[in-house]
Structure 1
Amino acid sequence: MNKERLFELYEKLYFHEMEVRERITGRVQITFALVATGYTILSYMLRMLDYTALRSAIMVFAISASLTFLLSFVCLYFLVRAFWGNTYKGMPSPIKTDEYREKLIAHKKEIEDYNSSYPSNRQPEVDVDSLVADHLYQKFRDCSAHNTEVNDRRSQQLHRAFKWLLFASIPMLVASVTYIAHDLDVSSPRKETPIVDLSVATELNGIKTKLEALNLSLKQGVKIVPEVEDNYVPPPPPPPQEPDARPLVEDNYPTPNAGE
């Protein structure tokens, strides 16, 4: 295989590894979502756990939930390693490549001037196209090799994370079956959920106390004097009565003329 065929191979391999990088990132995000979903389900079951249910069922659920959390932490460890801390090598930008080509052209002109000035110490001419092609060939080769190693390492970490996720799903399944089979949900419609309103309960207790005191006083013949609050302000007294005002009598007769 000649150099041109290898150049095409390394170029295809470089872009292939970049696509693999995106696929691995998507798989890691999906696994993170699965772990977060499991934590959400376990959090709900723990929050709504009925602690008055069968003690053995609660113990089985608690042990299974604890194992699920422990095994999922190992899964998260490998997921973090598969997601962060991985450095890829990329090809130089077109501007950098063009700057390198311009430098080669300037260097070629310098070599030509040197050879014309010192023909006895003639230097080999600079082939710009060949050097640029060699530069790109080496970059594609090095980047492809490095990115392949990184993707292989990330794939291995992702495989380990998914394996521990499967291990964590076993105790989670046991916890879920125990939770459903023994009806450990305190908000289950099959259970009576007591609703306590503290303000209403306080008012009812006060009314009950007053009724008991009233009943006791009626039995003993004691007159109940209503309790007066400390900040009680009596209403103002009624105003004094005043006599009716004398009605005004207006002179509605017409005024006679002066000549009459």
Structure 2
Amino acid sequence: MEVKELLVVFEKMYLQENEIKEKITIRVQVLFTLILAVITVSSYMLRMLDLERYISVSASIIASLVVFYAGLAVSTKYAIRAFWGNTFKQMPPAVEVRGYCSALIIYNEEVEKAKSAHGAEAEVIDVRAEIDTYLCNVYEECATHNSEINQERSRKVHESFKWLLRSFVPLGIAGILFVGFDMDVSSPRKNFQVIDKYVGDQIGGVRNSIDLIASQVVELRKSYMSESKKTGNKPGGQSENVTVPLKTGAPVKPSGPPVRIVLEDDRSQSIEVSDEQRKK
């Protein structure tokens, strides 16, 4: 085959390997999405697992999830290697190729000058053929290297999918046990107690305040009773020794009993109210 025909073939192979590289990258991204999805499902089962209902079933679910995470770790390792750390060869920039072409033209001019001046035996090269040969060699090198890298990446993606599918088996077992035995602690079919620590603390504080007020009321009542005994007054606030006014001349109009004011703490006080105040 001529160089021009090889150039066309190698160029197509080079472009094809670039397309394969992008397709493999998309497959790896899909793989990462699946891994994150199953991690979310398994994390929910672990977080909401009812450890008090069936201990044996809970242990089986945890053991299945441990096996699942082991297989998932291997799958993730291959996925990361397929996505990261791979080197590809690309064509040199167009500026460098143009510079190489200009260098060849200058080389031919210098050869012509050397032949005319010194009779040098150097021959003028065909710039177009030289560029075609150069491009053919570069396309061949890049396509070959990229093909090897893509094959290795494809193998890693295959291994990652294989281990991911294997890890689905223990995850499926854990899911069946989780749903079949209703191991979700937040299931609406279960009667569970909701404990609000903040509300409980507030209720406890109110209860302590009520107890403190009750104890103060008892102490005040005791102190009032002791004061009543010392002054000789009955608890009702009336004195046992009633002074009978002496009849000296015109009778004196008796005054009504004093008004009793009872406070909220059950401590009584006797306040004298005059007739003028009572009329008001």
Q: Which residue of 2 aligns with 1:75?
A: 75
Aligned partner of 1:241 in structure 2 is none
Q: 1:210 offset after TM fit, Å?
A: 7.2
Number of the residue aligned with 2:6: 6
Q: Answer yes or no: is 1:57 the counterpart of 2:82.
A: no
The separation in 2 between residues aligned to 1:224 and 1:115, in whole angstroms, is: 134
Residue-by-residue CA offset, 1:122-179 (whole Å, 9 max, x unaligned) = 2211211111111111001110111100100100111011100011111011111111
Separation in 2, partners of 1:65, 1:146: 41
Counterpart of 2:134, as a letter, is H
Answer whether contact 2:7 2:132 (CA < 8 A) is retained.
no
Alpha-carbon distance between aligned partners in 2 of 1:95 and 1:207, rounded to the nearest angstrom: 83
**AA aligned opposite 1:141:** E
Q: Are the aligned partners of 2:4 and 2:132 in contact in 1 as well (CA < 8 Å)?
A: no
Partner of 2:20: 20
Partner of 1:168: 167
Q: Secondary structure at the match of 1:90?
A: coil
How far 1:77 moved relative to its partner?
0.9
Map 1:103-182 → 2, pairs under 5 A? 103-119=103-119, 121-182=120-181
**Which residue of 2 is the match for residue 92 of structure 1?**
92
Instruction: Please name the residue that 1:223 is paired with.
Output: 221
CA contact (8 A) 1:217 1:224 kept: no
Structure 1 residue 48 displacement after superposition: 1.1
> d(CA) in 1 for partners of 2:106 and 2:215?
116
Distance 1:191 1:178 in 2: 17
Question: What TM-score do the two structures reach when normalised by structure 2?
Answer: 0.73
What one-letter code is carried by the residue in structure 1 that aligns with 2:46? L
Between the aligned residues of both structures, percent identity stands at 32
More contact order relative to length (CA 8 Å, sep ≥ 6)? 1
Say what the alpha-carbon RMSD is for the aligned residues. Answer: 2.4
Distance in 2 (alpha carbons) for counterparts of 1:224 and 1:22: 92
Question: Is the contact between residue 3 and residue 133 of structure 2 (CA under 8 Å) also seen in structure 1?
Answer: no
Query: Does the aligned pair in 2 maintain the 1:11–1:140 contact within 8 Å?
Result: yes
Measured in 1, the distance between the counterparts of 2:87 and 2:9 equals: 22
Q: Which runs of 4+ in 1 moved over 6 A?
A: 209-218
In structure 1, what residue type is equivalent to 2:221?
Answer: K
Cα distance, 1:196 vs structure 2: 1.4
Aligned partner of residue 221 in structure 2, secondary structure = coil
Write the letter of the residue equivalent to 1:105: I
The question of whether the paired residues in 1 share the 8 Å contact of 2:82 and 2:154 is answered with yes
Shift of 1:79: 0.8
* Residues 224 and 14 (structure 1), Cα distance of their counterparts in 2 relative to 1, 3 Å cut: farther
CA contact (8 A) 1:214 1:224 kept: no
Q: Secondary structure at the match of 1:175?
A: helix
Report deviation, 1:199.
3.7
User: Do 1:71 and 1:164's aligned partners in 2 also have CA atoms closer than 8 Å?
Assistant: yes
| Alignment TM-score, normalising by the size of structure 1 | 0.79
Letter in 1 for 2:132: A
The structure that has the greater radius of gyration is 2
Alignment of 1:25-64 (within 5 A): 25-64=25-64
CA distance in 2, matches of 1:42, 1:183: 15
* TM-aligned CA distance change 1:36 to 1:199, over 3 Å: closer
Q: Which runs of 5+ in 1 are unaligned?
A: 226-260
**Counterparts of 2:188 and 2:52 in 1: how far apart (Å)?**
16
SS of structure 2 residue aligned to 1:194:
coil
In 2, Cα distance between the equivalents of 1:82 and 1:61?
A: 31
Q: Which residue of 2 aligns with 1:232?
A: none
Deviates more, 1:170-179 or 1:194-203: 194-203
What amino acid is aligned across from residue 131 of structure 1 in structure 2? Answer: E
